[in-house]
Amino acid sequence: MSMTRRARHSRRRSSVSPGRWNSPTSTFSERRAMSEAPMRVWLFAGGEYPCEARDGLQPATADVIVCVDAGLVHAANLGLHPDLLIGDFDSVGAEFLDDERYTGIERHEFPVNKNASDLQLALELVAAHLRGEARIAAFEARGLVRSAEVLVVGVSGGRTDHMLFNWQLPALQDWPFELGFVDATVEAFVVTPEHTFRRELATGRTVSLLPLFQAEGVSTGGLLWPLDEQRLRAGDTLGLSNRVACPQRVPDRACSGPEETSLGSDREHAGIADLAAVQQAGQETGQEENVVVSVQVRAGRLLVMLVAGDPARNLDGRQDHDH
């Protein structure tokens, strides 16, 4: 997709009832404590996506499925029936676009030459609907009205420039929904002053905090090396490769104050005993113990990135690079 000129897109609306599929209930994230949990919208982008379910990561029957360009291929491989198709469709073969299973689905089609990527336009379309600035028939049919949790998959792989632009989209605006990105190695959640992170995680799991631009007042709970009102600068690696603490040794020490702190000295002198305890706990119990991990920020925006796979595999540090 080239980005030289934005043009108005054409729409083709459909009155076909949204499809249904059979799949287990998703356990991707812990819902916020509220009277009515937000609906979940899956955006399938065209990057690499592991089709096998990971950690219960599957769409549920009640979730809304949006396919962005070649994301239709991922949905088809998973046996999902989309509610909405978005993009210029220059990366999707005719065998999918002309398939009778998808010809009746509402499409928002854009020209190839435009000023934004298909994924950006898809996020903006969901945002416009939730703000009441646009009415999307497929969303109305599924009851998507005010609150939502948007999970984007297929954001990595392929061209590096595309991948980097995808991962910068959380910084584009104050999105009116909870936003998460998923690829083969991490599950990432956007944390803002309005959207905090709170979830039970297995002891020893690797957690990184990536500031999208300077984040002020970052505080964490349940991590081996906690932060308390810390400043995280864009480009700094202070938040790389933290760990979920064991329940018996959730540390009470933290990086003090908003001034920059030495990552090496803080971890080397403050966390050696705790890291050993995490390793020992896993060996003694032979099973994962869960700890409630929380991350909040007073100003700015950051990504909480949960490394996928065995939570204990990186505890000795040998498979982590340059941390």
* DSSP-derived secondary structure for 102-148: TTTSEEEE--SS-SS-HHHHHHHHHHHHHTTS---HHHHHTT--S-E
Do residues 310 and 220 lie in contact, with contact meaning Cβ atoms separated by under 8 Å? no
Q: Would you place residue 25 in the very low, low, confident or very high pLDDT band (cuts 50, 70, 90)?
A: very low
Q: Would you place residue 60 in the very low, low, confident or very high pLDDT band (cuts 50, 70, 90)?
A: confident
Q: Which phi-psi region, left, alpha or beta, contains residue 259 (left: φ > 0; alpha: ψ -120 to 50)?
A: beta
Confidence check: pLDDT of 30 > 80: no
Confidence check: pLDDT of 226 > 80: yes
d(CA 195, CA 176): 10
Instruction: Indicate the range of 106-110, 242-246, 286-290 predicted with least confidence.
Output: 286-290
d(CA 273, CA 293): 20
**Average pLDDT in the 225-248 region?**
92
Confidence check: pLDDT of 24 > 90: no
More confident residue, 245 or 13: 245
150-160 residue pLDDT tens: 999 999 988 89
d(CA 63, CA 83): 10
pLDDT at 166: 93
Backbone CA torsion sign across 118, 121, 127, 132: negative
Amino acid in the structure at residue 6:
R
198-213 residue pLDDT tens: 999 999 999 999 999 9
Highest mean pLDDT pick, 76-85, 255-264, 313-322: 76-85
Confidence check: pLDDT of 76 > 80: yes
Other C-beta atoms lying within 10 Å of the C-beta of residue 72: 27
CATH architecture of 10-184: 3-Layer(aba) Sandwich (3.40)
Other C-beta atoms lying within 10 Å of the C-beta of residue 109: 13
**Average pLDDT in the 168-186 region?**
93
**Cβ neighbours of residue 78 closer than 8 Å, sequence gap 6 or more:** 51, 59
pLDDT at 122: 96
d(CA 273, CA 202): 19
More confident residue, 18 or 268: 268
Backbone CA torsion sign across 275, 276, 278, 282: positive
Residue 148 Cα distances to 106, 143, 232, 282, angstroms = 20, 11, 28, 36
Do residues 48 and 184 lie in contact, with contact meaning Cβ atoms separated by under 8 Å? yes
Q: In 3D, which of 282, 253, 247 has the Cα closest to residue 265?
A: 253
Q: Where in the chain is the domain with CATH 3.40.50.10240?
A: 10-184
pLDDT at 209: 97
pLDDT at 307: 92
pLDDT at 46: 87
